[in-house]
Structure 1
Amino acid sequence: MALKTLQFLAIVLTALGLVPAGAHLFALPNKIGLAQEAYFVVQGIYRGWALFGLVLVPALFANLLLAFATRRTVRPSALALMAAVLMAANLAIFLAWTCPANAATENWTNPVPGWEMPRTRWEYSHAANAVLTFGALCLAVLSVLAAAPWRGQQGTDGSR
């Protein structure tokens, strides 16, 4: 796979992972204090959003592949590897806190006693993942920028 294509995929897949996470982060202040009935109604707007989660694994692998493809240049490779680590942390948080909250409430269709704890875990795990995914996106972009020769930049022999 050509390096430019891999760079493009790492950025785009990571950015797509930020879409739902960012939406959850910015909705958190308006939702966290809602009463049970209102909260469960509002959660209905996320039906079908699970499909966004499918992009997280390809984003992780695209960043890993980018780190491998640029392994001869330390900075771009290290930046891409750090992006992959953040995407892996995102998945770990999802599996540890978000997914169990979804399961306990049957994807927010079944109010359970003590529903506030799953809500808190769900909301804050999404907030953490928004921060991690934004960091991964920044690192992926920095990796591409670090690997890119700048137009107009002079070579060591004085040529352009």
Structure 2
Amino acid sequence: MKVRIVQFLAIIIGALALIPSGAHLAALPNKIGLPQTAYFTVQGIYYGWAILGLLWPAAMIANALFAFVVRAQNRPFWLAAVAVLCFLVMLVIFLVWTLPANQATENWTTSPDNWEVLRKQWEYSHAANTVIAFVALCLTVLSVLSARPASP
């Protein structure tokens, strides 16, 4: 039963982590060409979304726990371990590209001279993280599907 709970959590948290990332990617084509005033206004819709960033470490932990639970099973272990690595890469992308853009613009309330460069940095870092979150979720599901049930 414990294995099933960990499997469920790894999938659900991974899926939840994909939702805000997917929303960013879906909005990108409509936002990337907006003039500065409109872009900064639209960015205001993300106020309070920082809490959703907790889903990435939660998904990392859930997948790490699942990898630990199935460590004796080669394929499920490695699939879950690579999913953990995906969420770690997402955090690195956020820290290297997304967060600095947020800081330089004071969360899109201040317009520095290089705001267009920062916009691209912010938008494309989110797009990359969406792809990685999707890959991580696929790896998690494949890991769960390939795991042998625990012996009673």
TM-score category by the smaller chain? over 0.9
Q: In structure 1, list runs of 5 or more residues that go unmatched.
A: 150-160
Using the alignment, how far apart are the partners of 1:17 and 1:63 within structure 2?
A: 13
Q: CA deviation at 1:33?
A: 0.6
TM-score by length of 2: 0.95
Equivalent residue runs for 1:133-152 within 5 Å: 133-148=133-148
Using the alignment, how far apart are the partners of 1:91 and 1:45 within structure 2?
A: 22
Paired-residue identity, %: 58
Q: CA deviation at 1:148?
A: 4.7
Equivalent residue runs for 1:73-152 within 5 Å: 73-148=73-148
Q: In the alignment, residue 78 of structure 1 is paired with which amino acid?
A: W
Q: CA deviation at 1:54?
A: 1.0
TM-score by length of 1: 0.90
Q: For 2:112, what is the secondary structure of its paired residue?
A: coil
Using the alignment, how far apart are the partners of 1:13 and 1:104 within structure 2?
A: 30
RMSD across aligned positions (CA): 1.1
Higher Cα radius of gyration: 1
Question: How many residues are matched?
Answer: 149
Using the alignment, how far apart are the partners of 2:84 and 2:54 within structure 1?
A: 15
Q: For 2:66, what is the secondary structure of its paired residue?
A: helix
What's 2:10 paired with? Answer: 10
Using the alignment, how far apart are the partners of 1:12 and 1:122 within structure 2?
A: 26
Q: In the alignment, residue 105 of structure 1 is paired with which amino acid?
A: T
Using the alignment, how far apart are the partners of 2:58 and 2:24 within structure 1?
A: 21
Q: Which runs of 4+ in 1 moved over 3 A?
A: none
Using the alignment, how far apart are the partners of 1:18 and 1:128 within structure 2?
A: 12
Q: In the alignment, residue 26 of structure 1 is paired with which amino acid?
A: A
